[in-house]
Chain A
Amino acid sequence: MKTRTWIIILSSAVIVCAVLWMFILNSSSPSKIVGIYQDGSLVEKIDLNSVTDEREITLNGKFGKNIIFISHGHIEMKSAECPDKICVKHGALEIGGTPIVCLPNKVVIQFEETPYGADAKTGAAE
């Protein structure tokens, strides 16, 4: 077989790999996908950008109810029956910000990716 044929085969293999690689990298770029967790288990995963209608999710924990409010691009803890209400005071979940955490009821609302461009953030949690 001619060398030229081999060059064509090899370079097309390289291109295919590069395209696949780009695809893999792209699929992990920052998004607005949030996960709602209770006691370490996923309750629901939501892409905030695809939310069209406002809605609420109610979770029951040891210290009563947590009501989560969701609208397009937005998620917040609307109310909580736990004693300190740190999760309500946190306000909306922001890109690059800290997760919304209700320690008494073990609820965490966070982005599924780390959108601040680092692998971890120190001092962020309580």
Chain B
Amino acid sequence: MNFMRKFSILFMTVAVLFCSACDFDSKADSEFFAMDTIMSITAYGSNSQSAVSAAENEINRLDKLLSVQNENSEIFKLNRDKSINASADTVTLLKRAMNFYTLTDGAFDITTEPLTRAWGFYSGLEKRVPSQNEIDNALKTVGAEHINIDNKNITLDENTSLDLGGIAKGYASAKTAQIFKENGVSSALISLGGNVRVVGSKPDGSDWSVAITDPDDNSKQVGTLAVRDTAVVTSGSYQRYFEENGHIYHHIIDTETGYPAQSGLKSVTVVSEDDTLADALSTGLFVMGLEKSSKLYSKNSALFGAVFVTDKNEIYITDNLENRFSSQHKFEVIER
């Protein structure tokens, strides 16, 4: 009797050990193309397969809604007709974009479409340096004051056009994380074209480790962040650029000058539980530069953290990331 009881305890212990190992393997993943880039989604746990399918559908739906190049999208129609009756998603996202415009003092701007087009940063166009005349004309159409939102009616001033490329992936990643939570997925990793979002902890209960790409060498990293339930988004001049007459022109356009932002930074990584904010601010802070960004941080340290890589390869991190960031390189801490 005694033997049987002990044997069953031993048997149960081994069975539990094995099952916890089995649970590791219950994972679902998907890799697909949307929003002009690669999406990669991995979820762990019993409900992961249906959650991943639902997430993929949601991202494709948002892509069709928000794409600047898809002729059936609301944004395409808005740019063409200058007026639409928008869906709830588009209204929500545009309102948030307007808030980020104010928060960053105009550095994050969704009216860059005419400038981005002039520089040829859309697929199918030739990348080139536009004439000063073209830039001056495009600059007249730029700024959130050219967008009017009246309930569901959105109108644009003449010649103003929107590009949600700096915020749509963040919104899609927030929606994906939400779908995972609703489906009871407590562990997932989402990468929407390099916009990373982690849900919960790793299946073994530890933090997710997210590396930040070295702007000078894609195969290296400037450091890693140990995170849970957060978005990590990087904007960098190395991501999309072209060379002309020995000068390098990147894709993050400063709407103040109409030229690629020259703010002394090579990349900005924003860490936040708010995916949409992380996406928008990574671009906004890149345009603002280190000094203005530090000031913005000191007033909003509850909203986000950031890692900056300067043109001189110095690394700066905000003080709320001190326990999360590790690097082989030397780095400075920005106090709030």
Q: State the A residues within 8 Å of B (CB).
A: 1, 6, 9-10, 13, 17, 20-21, 24, 37, 39-40, 83-84, 94-99, 101, 103-104, 106, 108, 116-126
**Contact digits for B41-82, partner A, Cβ 8 Å, 1 yes 0 no:** 000000000000000000000000000000000000000000
Residues of A near B234 (CB, < 8 A) are 122-123
A101 to B195, CA, bound (A): 16
Partner of A10, one of B10, B38, B198, B213: B10
Among all A-B residue pairs, the 9 with the closest Cβ atoms: A123-B234, A97-B219, A118-B211, A125-B194, A118-B209, A40-B32, A123-B213, A122-B234, A96-B219
A123 touches B235 (CB 8 A): yes
Total A-B Cβ pairs within 8 A:
113
CB distance from B227 to the nearest CB of A (A): 10
In the assembled complex, B191 has its CB within 8 A of some CB on chain A: yes
Tell whether, in the assembled complex, residue B38 and residue A101 are in contact, meaning their CB atoms are under 8 Å apart: yes
| Pick from B123, B124, B221, B236: contact of A121, CB under 8 Å | B221
A40 touching B123 in the complex, CB below 8 Å, given contacts A120-B208, A122-B195, A126-B240: no
Residue contact B193 to A120, C-beta cutoff 8 Å: no
Closest Cβ–Cβ distance, residue A7 to chain B (whole Å): 12
Given the known A-B contacts A96-B220, A121-B210, A122-B213, are A1 and B33 also in contact in the complex, defined by CB atoms under 8 Å? no
Contact between A123 and B30, CB atoms less than 8 A apart: no
Residues 96-117 of chain B: 1 if any A CB is under 8 Å from the residue's CB, otherwise 0? 0000000000000000000000
- Rounded to whole Å, the gap between the CB of A62 and the closest CB of chain B is 11
Q: Within the assembled complex, what's the spacing in Å between the Cα atoms of A21 and B239?
A: 40
Q: What residue of chain A has the Cβ atom nearest to residue B191's Cβ?
A: A120
A126 to B123, CA, bound (A): 12
Contact A124 B218 (CB under 8 A): yes
CB distance from A115 to the nearest CB of B (A): 10
Q: Which residues of B contact A118 (CB under 8 A)?
A: 209-211, 221, 224
B31's partner among A1, A9, A108, A124 (CB-CB below 8 A) is A108
Interface residues as binary, B123-146 with A (CB distance below 8 Å gives 1, 0 otherwise): 110000000000000000000000
Report which of A83, A106, A108, A124 forms a contact with B213, defined as CB distance below 8 A.
Answer: A124
Q: Which of A13, A84, A94, A124 contacts B194 (CB 8 A)?
A: A124
Give the complex CA separation of A36 and B97 in angstroms.
37
- Contact: A98 with B218, CB < 8 Å? yes
Q: A1 CA to B5 CA in the complex, in Å?
A: 12
Residues of B near A84 (CB, < 8 A) are 123
**Using Cβ atoms and an 8 Å threshold, which residues of chain B touch A99?**
38
Q: What residues on A are CB-neighbors of B6 within 8 Å?
A: 1, 6
Residue of B nearest to A42 (CB): B31
